[in-house]
Amino acid sequence: MGNLHEECGVFGIYNRTPETMDTAKTVYYALYALQHRGQEACGIAVNDNNLITLVKDLGLVHEVFDEKTLSAMKGSIAIGHVRYSTTGGNNRRNIQPLGVDYVKGSLVIAHNGNVSNAAALRAELEAQGAVFQCTSDTEVIAFLIAKERLAAPSVEEAVARVVPRLEGSFSLLIMSPRKLIALRDPKGMRPLCMGRIGESVVFASESCALDSIGAEFVRDVQPGELIVAEPEGVRCLTAGVNHDPASCAMCIFEHIYFARPDSVIDGQSVYQARIEAGRLLARTHPVQADLVIGVPDSGLVAALGFAKESGIPYGEGLIKNRYIGRTFIQPTQDSRESSVMIKLAPLRRSVEGKRVVMIDDSIVRGTTMRQIVALLRRAGAAEVHVRISAPEFLWPCYYGTDIDERSQLASVQHSPQELCRILGADSLGFLPVDQVETIAPDSRLHFCKACFSGQYPYPVPEVADKTAFE
């Protein structure tokens, strides 16, 4: 229901036929397909024989880029980024791609993920006299590459030498004067895949971006793998590849919520994973009911799965208003119209007199869910059974998911029984944490479930000294 955010989506292209396929526009269309991964800011950098044009700003892809801007962005290598920015207002510092000059020229980086030991690495660099202009871990990565490059024989070698120093998640696209480098962290925490379009190679956070531009899916980038696209061709540096799937920690929440259902990650269809999540819910939390509905949009597929498994008919029960924009004025607390009433409308004819199973993908604070349950009751639902296609959120994420303060998480504060009562529901069920991996049997990688289980793939970072900047 929109209270969880991941910080990025990335896309890159090494375009061997810029005369017939516009480089910047290809990135533009691909970013549209990744927009669900970040709606606060976006950017594209294009390399035209080592002259780099970098345009980035707050806003959606269609707000930041217009025909004139894109037309002026010529070149054959490009990377793009969409971002959910955790800081508000006018802050543009952390928008990506990040472009820097260093001893060998230029370096442009687009990063999906979060380096959990960034604060420690940053303190170390500051102790050597470094200055930082962003608050992001990406700038730390750029610094480390620049330092390694002093000794390393190539930029990809410098990148490879930095990898062991980083903890956490990082799917990276790096553009040097002549090369496009793709890198996925050794545990494969965030997705990254490779495609082909004509003679050209592309990389994307999700396969849906390949489909949207008519590119062919080639394969996922392997955990720890580094791929270099350069004038001579494409080279895969597999020295760092982690061949042990069990030591991988791909974020299971990509399947539950973040990724687009038409994407396939590490062999696993996201759509199928959601269907399976619904099926698993139906098996582990069965209920006698007349109708299964999903909270649009993210609960719809799991609702289909629940309906299939349970045999209870699937239907629509809530209509989502598609016109609520960024500048929507929130109703005041004491006004009759609640925000939820304006955003979601119950389908009285569909739910009236029915025992309804309602599926959503998560409960963060629980406030919205309580209002939705009330909406359905007012529309005549005889019973409302809430089913969540994820386990309970109990632990913070250090790898790129922006979960609320732990103290505000409903499941930290309340047992499912208490929470059910607070929501006003007739019953409440979560996915069992010990079976959650079974929703994605096709995945070649094992999963990170830290936000549910508290078992982290890397040491938990000590609290970071935050920047003084707003």
Q: Which residues contact 267 (CB under 8 A, 6 or more apart)?
A: 220, 442, 443, 444
Q: Is the separation of the CB atoms in 116 and 458 below 8 Å?
A: yes
The yes or no reply on residue 328 touching its own copies (CB under 8 A) is yes
Which CB, 17 or 415, lies closer to its own copies? 17
> Checking DSSP bridges between strand 264-265 and strand 268-269, what pairing results, if any?
antiparallel
Residue 420 sits at φ, ψ, to 5 deg, of -55, -45
90-98, 188-196, 365-373, 429-437 -> range binding its own copies (CB under 8 A): 90-98
Catalytic annotation present for 8 = yes
Q: According to CB under 8 A, which residues from 382 to 401 bind its own copies? A: none
Q: Is the separation of the CB atoms in 55 and 64 below 8 Å?
A: yes
Q: Which of 119, 341, 412, 464 binds its own copies (CB under 8 A)?
A: 341
The yes or no reply on residue 311 touching its own copies (CB under 8 A) is no
The yes or no reply on residue 26 touching its own copies (CB under 8 A) is yes
Minimum distance from CB of 151 to its own copies (Å)?
Answer: 10
The yes or no reply on residue 208 touching its own copies (CB under 8 A) is yes
Q: Which of 1, 10, 41, 70 binds its own copies (CB under 8 A)?
A: 70
Q: Which residue has the tokens 């696993």?
A: 268
Residue 392, CA distances (Å) to 281, 300, 434, 460 in order: 13, 19, 12, 20
The yes or no reply on residue 101 touching its own copies (CB under 8 A) is yes
Minimum distance from CB of 381 to its own copies (Å)?
Answer: 14
Mark 63-95 as b/e (b = at least 16 C-beta within 10 Å).
ebbeeeebeebbbbbbbbbbbbbeeeeebeebb
Q: Is the separation of the CB atoms in 85 and 46 below 8 Å?
A: no
> Checking DSSP bridges between strand 180-184 and strand 171-175, what pairing results, if any?
antiparallel
Q: Which of 8, 208, 248, 251 is catalytic?
A: 8
Which CB, 45 or 173, lies closer to its own copies? 45
Which CB, 249 or 292, lies closer to its own copies? 292
48-56, 233-241, 282-290, 406-414 -> range binding its own copies (CB under 8 A): 48-56
205-213, 229-237, 392-400, 444-452 -> range binding its own copies (CB under 8 A): 205-213
The yes or no reply on residue 419 touching its own copies (CB under 8 A) is no
Q: Is the separation of the CB atoms in 80 and 44 below 8 Å?
A: yes
The yes or no reply on residue 323 touching its own copies (CB under 8 A) is yes
Q: According to CB under 8 A, which residues from 162 to 181 bind its own copies? A: 177
Q: Which residue has the tokens 């819910």?
A: 281
Tokens matching residue 421: 């009562």
Residue 308, CA distances (Å) to 185, 341, 438 in order: 37, 29, 17
The yes or no reply on residue 441 touching its own copies (CB under 8 A) is no
The yes or no reply on residue 269 touching its own copies (CB under 8 A) is yes
Q: According to CB under 8 A, which residues from 106 to 145 bind its own copies? A: 106-107, 126-133, 135, 139, 142-143
Q: Is the separation of the CB atoms in 318 and 346 below 8 Å?
A: yes
* Residue 105, phi-psi category: left (phi > 0), alpha (psi -120 to 50), beta (remainder): left
Minimum distance from CB of 247 to its own copies (Å)?
Answer: 27
Q: Which of 3, 35, 408, 438 binds its own copies (CB under 8 A)?
A: 35
Q: Which residues form the catalytic set?
A: 8
